[in-house]
Amino acid sequence: MKFILSLFFSFFIFSASVFSNNYWMDVEPGSFNVKGTVYLAPLTYRTVLINKAGIIPLLNSAPLEKNVPVRFSSTIIELPMPNGINQRFRFVESPIMEEPLQQANPQIRTYLGQGIDDPYAVVRFDMNPLGFHAMVISPNGTVFIDPYSMNETDYYISYYRHDFRPAFEKTFTCHTEKDNNPPVYNTNYTRTGEQLRTYRLAVATTGEYTSLLGGQSQTLANINTTVNRITGVYELDMSVRLVLIANQMDIIYTNGASDPYTNNNGSALLSENQNNLDNVIGNANYDIGHVFSTGGFGGIAGLRVVCVTGNKARGATGSTSPFGDPWAIDYVAHEMGHQFGGNHTQNNTNCNANPPTAWEPGSGITIMGYAGVCAPNLANNSIPYMHGGNIFVEFIPYTQAGNGSTCPVVTNTGNSPPVLTMPVGGWTIPKSTPFSLTGTATDPDNDPLTYSWEQTNTGPQGHPNAPSGNAPIFRPFPPVNNGTRIFPKVSDLINNTQTLGELLPSYERLMRFRMTVRDNKAGGGGISSEETLFL
């Protein structure tokens, strides 16, 4: 049964000519009253007014994903891009709540879409009492659409991730619990995407967190947006989907004085959350547990604990500003990444590096790195991708053969991963000489492919401009639509400049690179990856 998204919205009627037959109208930022705290501050952005009277019937008409795959959907939405154009997406309703929770909360809906104008683009978006939220992942730029301010459901900003600046200073420290059973890192996995693994997620909140959001209903909406964005990344990179448990409301606490949690102590929250979820939800009724708080401790999580009885709820994230891209991607996706087996990728000194997986110079920039909080920083925020090493050395082995394979619901996607052709390694290049790497791939389903070349050397930790041994010297960049990467960037070669994290080798050393190819299929991406080695 489908519920109608209209209960919490007061409709404003606009003439068809004002909105020009779409769902968004451009407005000047100073032309309306700001209702609450502005928690997002991109350098540049597009401000739009939503046409609720038009968009809600459209959302209500979307077929359910289980009935119609997104590629066959005839329901189309236009979304406002930061550059002033609107892009079309086919979409379906794609719930990330178990059915009893979804039926009890018809005002909260999540959707999945594939680009029409940009076939590489995948979108996950939602509509709930806190408004409309979207994340578009594309080689043409990751785009976010968020409310202009807290308590705002009419006016929105559309911005590129690379233009984002938090309105509040970003502070984050991540710790992982000691792993008594470290894995032998597995490099034999080279492809994934034929199957989607769905895990039941229990997200508890401290009373302080719920108070900040304004109550249980608003907190569930916030959790839903956060998990929808994380799922958007995990589906494409890990073939993993997260679904909130049926009894989710039982662990959204409203009183910080009486809840079972220590809001400001991440270490204490781990054992508190494990005990509480087992007692309230029951071990058999969830696969991964996490707790959200407003404590400023950052995050802490157990490694490889998903599906593991007595440990699977050992994950906590705390921030005084739990909103937007930094919260969902930099913080929570990072901490849950640990629970799925992922380690840190940054190679900076004194930043909680993990030597066997320190594949990225400096702060790192993929989700399991420390972008923005580990100077010298490659960027202020993470790019919404996992490093190919995390994916194929850690996540895929854990979810498909390790303990993480024992509890998900596995469904066939009907998707076939790309087929790679890699350059043969073993060659030698002169020191301080620019070079390029080229790989090719074909897709059995003719999906549009994106490519990323990432270094997978590890070596002594240190400043990215002063490497030693086989330390990484080339940073990851977001995937692009061709299989060639030039080292360093062409713009640096032309202008005689240097991008931090791009340094030609000036002494004899090994160079190892991984090419990862994605087919960008909404709802369960196909990915293939292999390595090459040279001197």
- Domain around 78: 16-163
Residues 391 and 425 placed together within one structural domain of the fold: no
- CA 328, CA 322: separation in Å to the nearest integer? 8
Residues 357 and 442 placed together within one structural domain of the fold: no
- CA 71, CA 499: separation in Å to the nearest integer? 39
Query: Which pLDDT score is estimated for 203?
Result: 99
Residues 201 and 94 placed together within one structural domain of the fold: no
CB 347 within 8 A of CB 363: no
- CA 314, CA 175: separation in Å to the nearest integer? 12
Tally of domains within the chain? 3
Residues 180 and 157 placed together within one structural domain of the fold: no
Measured between alpha carbons, how far is residue 184 from residues 337, 383, 401, 471, 516 in Å? Answer: 18, 27, 13, 21, 21
Please identify, among 102, 135, 163, the residue that sits at the C-terminal boundary of a domain.
Answer: 163
On whether residue 410 sits in a domain, the answer given is: no
Instruction: Please write the tens of the pLDDT for every residue from 247-256.
Output: 999 999 999 9
Which helix (H) or strand (E) element contains residue 265? none
Q: Which residues of the chain have pLDDT under 50?
A: 1-4, 6-17, 20, 168, 180, 184
Query: Which pLDDT score is estimated for 367?
Result: 97
Residues 354 and 499 placed together within one structural domain of the fold: no
On whether residue 326 sits in a domain, the answer given is: yes
Q: Which value, to the nearest 10 degrees, does the dihedral of the CA atoms of residues 63, 288, 131, 99 take?
A: 40
On whether residue 408 sits in a domain, the answer given is: no
**End-to-end CA separation in angstroms for the chain:** 61
On whether residue 350 sits in a domain, the answer given is: yes
Query: Which pLDDT score is estimated for 470?
Result: 97
| CB-count exposure of residue 13 (10 Å: 0-12, 13-18, 19+) | exposed
On whether residue 113 sits in a domain, the answer given is: yes
Query: Which pLDDT score is estimated for 164?
Result: 83
What CATH number does the domain containing 182 carry? 3.40.390.10
Instruction: Please write the tens of the pLDDT for every residue from 272-326.
Output: 999 999 999 999 999 999 999 999 899 999 999 999 999 999 999 999 989 888 8
- CA 489, CA 41: separation in Å to the nearest integer? 28
On whether residue 266 sits in a domain, the answer given is: yes
Instruction: Please write the tens of the pLDDT for every residue from 125-178.
Output: 999 999 999 999 999 999 999 999 999 999 999 999 989 875 545 555 666 665
Token reading at 194? 């034929």
| CB-count exposure of residue 256 (10 Å: 0-12, 13-18, 19+) | middle
Residues 363 and 215 placed together within one structural domain of the fold: yes
Residues 329 and 373 placed together within one structural domain of the fold: yes
Instruction: Please write the tens of the pLDDT for every residue from 371-405.
Output: 999 999 999 899 999 999 999 999 999 999 999 99
